[in-house]
């Protein structure tokens, strides 16, 4: 398998005559252009911790249930839309989503049972995902506020709550050890906007009434590329794929079951599948009926980094931080003065 053939995946088309159909398409190496990059976070510690924490739960994932569309909405995009038209439709919906929340979400994946979850978001970067079971209690806590982000897994060893300040993330070792950065999760869950100032390529028509747009940007990790797949009728963001400077797939999200919030009229998916190939980790988040722009509850508690018994706070930006189990760095003596004649 070539390096981009891993982008084969399942998705869904929205047609008048049937339910959502299971459809596939390929992105081949010859299709991709990598002159620059898309910003993406780094990737090891969080994946290892999340894999260890979730895989220690035994059981089976819950079955997938697909929402049916008998009378799809009228077209929003023209038959042959321009890049400007696609960006305008996508951004018009996403930019109006100031917050969303759901207390009836579920987190699941291969090899572990479904966890009940709550998810909340508030602009610009406040995010919280908590998951657990009625028997064991909290299992996962991912969050972000205006100053920092954190993640905690109950079954991590040693127990710890990892955190990093946003203003220290880009210049610290944290970006080399953790892929959890709230912005990417928020985009994957449906609040994604195209930056008009960035170079975009497309829209390229794809089978099953879809459009492909490539976004490129330089990052400290090198040139990275993001591929976004959009429904050519409604402008819904269906898939997002992130590639590193070596053209290796870093992350993929596939969203479906798009639903219009009855009060705001805005659109969000009801299910999102996340794949992180470097860690061989797959997750499914069932959001259910998300409430948009109606965030309630104790905001101070919701956006505060929690504390858990026995879990010491660990700053990922600490220069002395090391990945658990990794060998200590080898001290290299500084060179002495040059020898005399």
Predicted confidence (pLDDT) per residue in 95-116, tens digit: 999 999 999 999 998 877 789 9
Between these two residues, 81 and 170, which has the higher pLDDT value? 81
Average pLDDT of span 321-327: 58
Contact 166, 154 (CB under 8 A): no
Tokens of 273: 């599948």
Whole-Å CA distances, 172 to 168, 176, 314, 320: 6, 8, 14, 11
Average pLDDT of span 31-60: 39
Q: Can you tell me whether residue 324 is helix, strand or coil?
A: coil
Q: Which residues contact 108 (CB under 8 A, 6 or more apart)?
A: 61, 62, 114, 115, 283, 284, 286
- Whether the model clears a pTM of 0.75, i.e. scores above it, the answer is no
| C-alpha to C-alpha distance for 15 and 70, rounded to whole angstroms | 8
170-183 confidence digits (pLDDT tens): 777 666 555 556 67
186-237 confidence digits (pLDDT tens): 898 889 999 988 999 999 999 999 999 999 987 777 888 999 999 999 999 9
292-311 confidence digits (pLDDT tens): 999 988 999 999 999 999 99
Contact 219, 198 (CB under 8 A): no
Tokens of 33: 């252009």
Chain mean pLDDT for the chain: 76
Average pLDDT of span 105-131: 91
Name beta bridge partners: 160: 312
| Percent of the chain residues past pLDDT 70, beyond the cut | 70
- 88 Cα distance to chain centroid: 22
Distance between the two ends of the chain, CA-based, in angstroms? 59
Structural domains in the chain? Answer: 34-64+76-315 (2.50.20.10)
Torsion of CA 7, 11, 14, 19, to 10 degrees: 160
Whole-Å CA distances, 338 to 261, 297, 331, 332, 333: 72, 67, 21, 17, 14
């Amino acid at each position: 398998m070539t390096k981009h053939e891993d982008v084969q995946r399942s998705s869904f088309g929205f047609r008048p005559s049937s339910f959502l159909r299971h459809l596939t398409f390929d992105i081949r190496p010859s299709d991709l252009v990598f002159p620059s990059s898309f910003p993406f976070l780094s990737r090891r510690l969080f994946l290892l911790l999340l894999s260890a924490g979730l895989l220690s739960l035994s059981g089976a994932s819950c079955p997938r249930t697909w929402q049916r569309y008998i009378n799809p909405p009228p077209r929003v995009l023209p038959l042959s839309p321009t890049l400007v038209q696609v960006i305008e439709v996508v951004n018009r919906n996403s930019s109006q989503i100031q917050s969303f929340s759901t207390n009836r979400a579920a987190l699941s994946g291969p090899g572990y049972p479904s966890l009940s979850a709550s998810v909340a978001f508030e602009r610009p970067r406040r995010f919280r995902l908590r998951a657990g079971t009625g028997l064991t209690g909290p299992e996962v806590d991912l969050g972000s506020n205006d100053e920092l982000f954190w993640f905690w897994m109950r079954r991590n060893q040693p127990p710890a709550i990892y955190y990093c300040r946003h203003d220290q993330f880009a210049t610290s070792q944290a970006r080399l050890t953790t892929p959890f950065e709230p912005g990417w999760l928020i985009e994957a869950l449906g609040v994604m906007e195209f930056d008009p100032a960035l170079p975009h390529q497309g829209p390229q028509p794809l089978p099953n009434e879809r459009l492909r747009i490539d976004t490129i940007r330089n990052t400290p990790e090198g040139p990275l590329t993001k591929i976004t797949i959009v429904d050519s009728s409604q402008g819904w963001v269906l898939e997002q794929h992130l590639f590193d400077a070596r053209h290796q797939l870093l992350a993929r999200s596939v969203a479906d079951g798009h639903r219009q919030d009855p009060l705001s009229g805005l659109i969000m998916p009801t299910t999102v599948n996340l794949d992180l190939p470097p860690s061989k980790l797959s997750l499914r988040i069932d959001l259910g009926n998300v409430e948009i722009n109606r965030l309630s509850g104790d905001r101070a508690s919701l956006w505060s980094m929690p504390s858990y018994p026995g879990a010491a706070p660990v700053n990922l930006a600490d220069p002395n931080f090391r990945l658990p189990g990794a060998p200590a760095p080898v001290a290299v003596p500084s060179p002495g003065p040059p020898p005399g004649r």
